[in-house]
Amino acid sequence: MRVGVPVGHAAEQVDLWLDAELRGVPSHGLLRLERLAERIGKGLADPKAIGLHEWRGAGFLAVDGRKGLGPIVANAALEQVTARARETGIAVAAIANSQHIGMLAWYAERVARGGQVAIVLSTSEALVHPWGGRKALLGTNPISIGIPTGEPDPFVMDTATSIVSMGEIHDRAHRREPIPSDWALDENGSPTTDAEAAKRGAIGPFGQAKGYALGLAFELLVASLAGAALGPDVHGTLDAEYLCNKGDIFIVADRVQTAGLSTYLQLIRNAEPAEGFASVLVPGERGRALRAERLKSGVPIADPVWARLLALASDDVPKRQGAST
């Protein structure tokens, strides 16, 4: 709010970050606040914008995010396409020119709780190398899918198409721990177990050629529908120098049958675990359990992040420039 974010927008943006913290995904949590405040200060992000909506056909909402905050622009679009999908059966929002939208599961879960199916895609700066390549040419290009199941909580999976997040590699570097040899390449494109070297290099796609194929398909799909930039041309979710030109896609489908889904999920939860595993997990449920626990016990925030939050809460905050009021 000190950098000009309206209270409702601030609450929504912080809810997204806190949800990531609660679910144990601090890379998408409060550490993002400082950079966003900096971007707002420089006029690269507009804290008041909700995006310009253009319906290209009854089911296709094209959104120019007008430099707005990721969750503000996305939720305004989702409100439209969830309502529209109740009429048409399916609708898509294709968003360009908004800030980082954070943890995709936050959106997919919201849609699924409303009784609809969601497929959410987003692109990012090039951090991932093609399978068989040496340099980062793809975003981490996550996907989240939310599905109502007839159970109190929907099914929500959320995964990047990289083998790990760059945040995880930074964390290992910070702790001076090595990384597994299949995680990343160094700046020369050779496999490395040195997290510092990996930070200057490229992360591997998950699942080798198959994960690469998916990550590339998502990169092209988001660019095709949202008019987003591609590969090394993508900027603005990690820096405070460029306009944010990645894209986000929300496909919402209605008319869901939930018959049998809960029974099937129970079959999976009750399946005999393999050696070395305590149980068979349904994706998303570990994060949800952690969330419930942390809502009671609190969220551990890393000291440097907490120190930055306190500094940002003080008067020493960059002034906004050039953004509309």
CB neighbour list of residue 96: distance below 8 Å, 6 or more residues apart? 63, 64, 65, 226, 227, 228, 245, 247
Question: Which of 63, 90, 58 lies closest to 76 in space, CA to CA?
Answer: 63
**With respect to a second copy, which residue has the nearer C-beta, 189 or 318?**
189
Least Cβ distance, residue 58 to a second copy (angstroms): 4
CB neighbour list of residue 302: distance below 8 Å, 6 or more residues apart? 26, 31
Least Cβ distance, residue 251 to a second copy (angstroms): 7
Least Cβ distance, residue 296 to a second copy (angstroms): 27
Residue 28 falls in the annotated catalytic set: yes
**With respect to a second copy, which residue has the nearer C-beta, 69 or 94?**
94
**With respect to a second copy, which residue has the nearer C-beta, 16 or 143?**
143
Least Cβ distance, residue 224 to a second copy (angstroms): 5
Least Cβ distance, residue 209 to a second copy (angstroms): 8
**With respect to a second copy, which residue has the nearer C-beta, 27 or 159?**
159
Token readout for 132 is: 């068989």
Question: Which of 234, 221, 214 lies closest to 163 in space, CA to CA?
Answer: 214
Give the dihedral sign, CA 22/9/156/249: negative
Question: Which of 136, 204, 135 lies closest to 165 in space, CA to CA?
Answer: 204
Residue 100 falls in the annotated catalytic set: no
Q: Do the bridges between strand 90-98 and strand 247-253 make them parallel or antiparallel, or are there none, so unpaired?
A: antiparallel
Catalytic residue among 27, 34, 165, 262: 27
**With respect to a second copy, which residue has the nearer C-beta, 232 or 300?**
232
Least Cβ distance, residue 214 to a second copy (angstroms): 7
C-alpha–C-alpha distance, residues 16 and 202, integer Å: 27
**With respect to a second copy, which residue has the nearer C-beta, 209 or 295?**
209
What distance, in Å, lies between the first and last C-alpha atoms of the chain?
13
DSSP 8-state assignment for residue 314: S
Catalytic residue among 34, 168, 196, 285: 168
Burial, 169: exposed, middle or buried (Cβ in 10 Å; 0-12, 13-18, 19+)? buried
Question: For residue 52, which phi and psi values (nearest 5 degrees)?
Answer: -100, 125
To the nearest 10 degrees (0 to 180), the angle between helices 7-22 and 105-113 is: 100
Residue 297 falls in the annotated catalytic set: no
Catalytic (active-site) positions: 27-28, 168
